[in-house]
């Protein structure tokens, strides 16, 4: 190091300049590509070539990291198979691709619920952390009676049973919860590095005025959402498959039966272990008629299957039912805070109830995220399009993603105003038309999102020349 410093002072500093080696006096434009001076003045050394396959690989791998690896699902029920668990996670990935704001809303609900619960019990129970609260919300504690699981414990029920002395407060440590989690700090760092690296490359292309593809614009928006979700789910365990049993303390059989009956007032089903039994008073006592008896008479007419009814059944099975389940999932991310019939496992988008102030804060966060998401896609309007029709389609699709959240926000404010004013219009309240308008806005938003995905892939078929160039990062760092 000292020798290199002496060489520097000898050739480039002070009075030693007279002894410096002669430099090449040729213009920089005609210098050889590997010349010493050309690395500081030639732009060609800073760029390299890439292909459409490279663009697809970079965008799809980053999107997969954002939508699959970064998602922290709730704990499945004991009877759920591997296929059910993967299908549920694939559904969450689909929601992330079509409506990432809704997933952020769900993650924010869980974050604020876990934060409030941890703040409330941190002093009462030493060692209780945000990870414990997340573990409780995602269905980590199951109440057992007589060695058999009864139901998943909710946060409020855990407090009530513990204060009544009917159960002991869980004593699991944070290290044990982390041991159950499939994601450690290293795996999360790798995902964050992948997304941050993509964002750096995206910004570098803007810096050197290289063409950014529409698919890269869409992927960049997912990269930003990944950072927000990682912050909200920073302490939530990843891919936990089994809950921890919490047993009733030793009491009489009659008292235990009373405890079970009181704690499940909203369910008409009685759970015994992993099985569900329907009470006799609500069971159907009618005896089905055997089809063989009906058709035993040769004079009875043969039933003719209507083609239209078959078409309607297929349409309901493959179109109406999936759309119905999809919109139910969207609603659950906003409102699901009870277990319902899921006694041994929490619903997919479950979260503990939040305070009204937290709900307003979550709603504000969703609006800000939607605005940022729309602003990023607006940048795609100024990029290269193969045809003017596709440019108009991108503009309309972006507008379809911007206007519905604004309208829904206005609807929410209007509902709030009407509730505060206690308006009454002879049984026809303001929410009568709002329900249909909300559904229409939601459908319009999803149509715009799907159109943006389709257009982002279509534009890859013909790109300008500089779109195939990328920054050669190795040229910026000294290396051997």
Determine the 3-state secondary structure of 194 from DSSP. Answer: helix
* pLDDT confidence of residue 137: 94
Distances (CA, A) of 157 to 145, 166, 262, 291, 352: 15, 11, 11, 49, 11
- pLDDT score recorded for residue 436: 76
Any domain includes 294: no
Q: Is residue 288 part of a domain?
A: no
Q: Residues in the chain, how many?
A: 480
pLDDT of residue 226: 83
Q: Report yes or no on 275 lying in a domain.
A: no
Query: pTM score, two decimals?
Result: 0.73
Ranges of the chain whose pLDDT falls below 70: 1-45, 183-185, 250-308, 412-434, 474-480
- Report pLDDT for 278: 34
Q: What is the count of structural domains for the chain?
A: 1
Is residue 336 included in any domain, yes or no? no
Residue 335 within any structural domain of the chain: no
Query: pLDDT tens digits for 101-144?
Result: 889 999 999 999 999 999 999 888 888 999 999 999 999 999 98
Within a domain: 35 = no
Position 139 in a domain: yes
pLDDT given at position 477: 55
Cβ atoms of residues 170 and 246 within 8 Å = yes
Residues 341-397 have pLDDT tens digits of 777 888 989 999 988 888 888 888 887 888 788 888 888 899 989 899 999 999 999
The predicted pLDDT at position 138 comes to 92
Question: What pLDDT is stored for residue 30 in this prediction?
Answer: 55
Sort strands 469-471 and 47-49 into parallel, antiparallel or unpaired: antiparallel
Query: So what's the pLDDT on residue 307?
Result: 61
Provide the residue range defining the domain that includes 379. Answer: 49-269+353-473
Residue 214 has a pLDDT of 93
Q: Quote the radius of gyration of the chain (alpha carbons, Å).
A: 31
Residue 17 lies in a domain: no
330 and 99 in contact (C-beta within 8 Å)?
yes
Model pLDDT, residue 476: 59
């Amino acid at each position: 190091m000292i020798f290199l410093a002496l060489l520097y002072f000898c050739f480039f500093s002070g009075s030693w300049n007279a002894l410096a080696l002669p430099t090449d006096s040729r213009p920089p434009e005609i210098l050889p590509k590997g010349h010493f001076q050309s690395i500081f003045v030639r732009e060609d050394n800073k760029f390299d070539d890439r292909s459409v396959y490279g663009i697809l690989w970079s965008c799809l791998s980053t999107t997969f990291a954002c939508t699959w690896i970064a998602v922290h699902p709730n704990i499945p029920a004991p009877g759920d198979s591997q296929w059910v668990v993967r299908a549920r996670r694939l559904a969450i990935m689909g929601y992330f691709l079509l409506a990432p704001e809704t997933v952020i809303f769900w993650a924010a609900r869980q974050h604020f619920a876990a934060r409030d619960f941890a703040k409330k019990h941190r002093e009462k129970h030493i060692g209780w952390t945000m990870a414990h609260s997340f573990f409780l919300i995602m269905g980590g504690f199951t109440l057992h009676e007589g060695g058999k699981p009864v139901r998943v414990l909710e946060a409020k029920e855990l407090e009530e049973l513990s204060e009544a002395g009917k159960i002991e407060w869980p004593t699991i440590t944070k290290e044990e919860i982390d041991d159950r989690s499939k994601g450690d700090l290293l795996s999360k760092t790798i995902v964050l590095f992948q997304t941050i690296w993509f964002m750096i490359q995206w910004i570098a292309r803007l810096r050197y005025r290289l063409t950014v593809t529409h698919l890269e614009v869409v992927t960049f928006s997912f990269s930003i959402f990944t950072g927000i979700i990682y912050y909200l789910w920073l302490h939530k365990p990843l891919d936990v498959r089994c809950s921890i049993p919490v047993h009733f303390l030793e009491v009489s059989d009659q008292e235990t039966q009373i405890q079970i009956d009181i704690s499940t007032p909203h369910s008409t089903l009685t759970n015994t272990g992993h099985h569900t039994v329907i009470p006799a008073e609500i069971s159907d006592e009618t005896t089905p008629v055997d089809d063989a008896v009906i058709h035993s008479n040769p004079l009875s007419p043969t039933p003719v299957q209507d083609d239209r009814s078959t078409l309607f059944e297929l349409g309901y099975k493959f179109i109406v039912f999936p759309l119905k389940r999809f919109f139910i999932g969207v609603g659950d991310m906003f409102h699901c805070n009870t277990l319902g019939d899921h006694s041994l496992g929490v619903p997919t988008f479950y979260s503990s109830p939040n305070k009204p102030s937290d709900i307003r804060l979550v709603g504000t966060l969703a609006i800000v995220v939607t605005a940022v998401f729309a602003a990023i896609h607006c940048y795609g309007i100024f990029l290269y399009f193969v045809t003017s029709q596709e440019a108009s389609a991108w503009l309309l699709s972006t507008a379809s993603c911007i206007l519905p959240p604004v309208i829904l926000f206005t609807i929410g404010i209007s509902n709030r105003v009407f509730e505060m004013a206690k308006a009454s219009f002879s049984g026809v309240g303001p929410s009568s038309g709002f329900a249909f308008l909300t559904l229409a806005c939601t459908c319009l938003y999803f149509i715009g999102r799907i159109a943006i995905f389709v257009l982002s892939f279509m534009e890859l078929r013909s790109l300008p020349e500089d779109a195939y160039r990328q920054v050669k990062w190795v040229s910026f760092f000294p290396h051997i």
